[in-house]
């Protein structure tokens, strides 16, 4: 097993050095293979014997890369990789994700590069991996996202242009024209464009792709600032909706402490141990989304701060009373009562 691990590290590093355009430092090579710097040095020396390893100097740090294209044994996908890609494409299609067409297209291109004898050799292993693996898709929205709209937005991003579209907000009878700087796409059951109004000092706004029509690239240039980070923007809220952030403090009961240790409430959360209980702290907006998520913990999470979150939770509890009708057992067995 130790020999196999060494071989796996070596092949992984060869692929990484072949894929990197700017090259990897020894520290980056060590991170890629999950080992220390000394191990990365030893593997680099082995690779140097068999490959044309190009060396460059970047800010007094040496970078290494394998120029050109690697031969097919190093670039050919394995059975597990193809099965994972196929499962992701199938899940995206079932979720009606905007990424589904791109994933399916990529899967087709990857499979097309395989030689006939390779496909035949892979088939017996690929069949059970594809047949017996699925992505869990929770209940939620299932909106149609026009692939052509996504393509227009992505082209505008690459060209550094604003994007124009007609947008119909929730409850509006007629759509209204919008022009925004495309700051990012957030994919999921609902896909959002994050847009910023050009030449206006306003916060970025999320726009649902399924409510957009007549999407086209604008003649007006528009690029995100160099210091813009979509991850940072998303981290300021619990979900998609924006509001002023607050310091959130949650207390998890002893019964659910183990589960909470492996749970991500927020990317920047801090976990404190207090006896048998856990205290979760993070800074975020989206109080309604936080409150609705806490329903899933069955009363094992107590809101300590802020008071505004407690008030939102009270409102959601009140709104939930009588929201779902439950049929009496005798009614649920009567076919004629299903429309009741």
Q: Domain of 193: which CATH number?
A: 2.30.30
241 in the same domain as 186: no
On whether the CB atoms of residues 186 and 234 are closer than 8 A, the answer is: yes
Cβ burial, residue 163 (10 Å; 0-12/13-18/19+)? buried
Residue 304 belongs to what domain range? 236-320
86 in the same domain as 69: no
The total of structural domains in the chain comes to: 4
Q: 3-state DSSP call for residue 230?
A: helix
pLDDT, residue 72, reads: 61
Alpha-carbon distance 140 to 94, whole Å? 12
Structure tokens at 168: 């119909």
Domain assignment present for 213: yes
pLDDT, residue 250, reads: 93
> 18 Cβ partners below 8 Å, 6+ apart?
65, 66, 69, 70, 74, 75
Domain assignment present for 330: no
Going from the first residue of the chain to its last (340 residues), give the mean pLDDT of each consecutive group of 10, the final group possibly shorter: 71 86 90 90 86 82 82 74 88 82 89 84 87 76 80 90 92 90 87 90 88 92 89 80 84 92 88 92 88 87 91 84 53 38
Domain assignment present for 6: yes
pTM of this prediction exceeds 0.75? no
pLDDT, residue 180, reads: 94
**CATH number of domain containing 56:** 1.10.10.10
pLDDT, residue 212, reads: 92
pLDDT, residue 1, reads: 53
Q: E-strand spans in 105-175?
A: 161-167
Q: Which residues pair with 57 in a beta bridge?
A: 62
Domain assignment present for 33: yes
SS3 of the chain: helix, strand, coil, percent, to 5: 45, 20, 35
């Amino acid at each position: 097993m130790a020999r196999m691990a060494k071989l796996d590290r070596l092949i992984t590093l060869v692929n990484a050095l072949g894929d990197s355009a700017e090259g990897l430092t020894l520290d980056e090579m060590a991170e890629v293979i999950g080992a220390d710097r000394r191990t990365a040095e030893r593997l680099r020396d082995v690779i140097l014997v068999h490959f044309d390893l190009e060396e460059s100097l970047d800010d007094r740090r040496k970078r290494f890369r394998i120029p050109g294209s690697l031969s097919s044994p190093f670039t050919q996908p394995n059975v597990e990789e193809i099965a994972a890609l196929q499962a992701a494409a199938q899940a995206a299609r079932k979720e009606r994700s905007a990424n589904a067409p791109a994933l399916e297209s990529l899967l087709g291109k990857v499979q097309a590069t395989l030689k006939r004898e390779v496909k035949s050799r892979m088939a017996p292993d690929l069949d059970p991996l594809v047949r017996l693996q699925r992505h869990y898709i929770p209940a939620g929205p299932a909106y149609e996202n026009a692939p052509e709209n996504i393509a227009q937005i992505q082209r505008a991003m690459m060209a550094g242009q604003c994007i124009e579209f007609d947008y119909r907000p929730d409850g509006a009878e007629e759509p209204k024209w919008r022009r925004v700087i495309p700051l990012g796409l957030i994919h999921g059951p609902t896909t959002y464009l994050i847009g910023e109004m050009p030449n206006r000092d306003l916060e970025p706004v999320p726009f649902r792709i399924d409510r957009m029509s007549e999407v086209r690239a604008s003649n007006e240039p528009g690029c995100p600032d160099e210091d813009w980070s979509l991850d940072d923007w998303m981290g300021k809220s619990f979900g998609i909706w924006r509001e002023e952030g607050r310091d959130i403090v949650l207390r998890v009961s002893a019964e659910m402490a183990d589960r909470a240790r492996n749970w991500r409430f927020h990317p920047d959360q801090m976990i404190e141990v207090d006896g048998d209980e856990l205290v979760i702290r993070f800074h975020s907006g989206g109080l309604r989304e936080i409150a609705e998520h806490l329903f899933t913990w069955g009363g094992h999470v107590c809101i300590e701060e802020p008071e505004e979150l407690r008030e939102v939770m009270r409102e959601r509890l009140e709104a939930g009373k009588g929201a779902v009708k439950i049929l009496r057992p005798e009614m649920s067995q009567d076919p004629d009562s299903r429309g009741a």
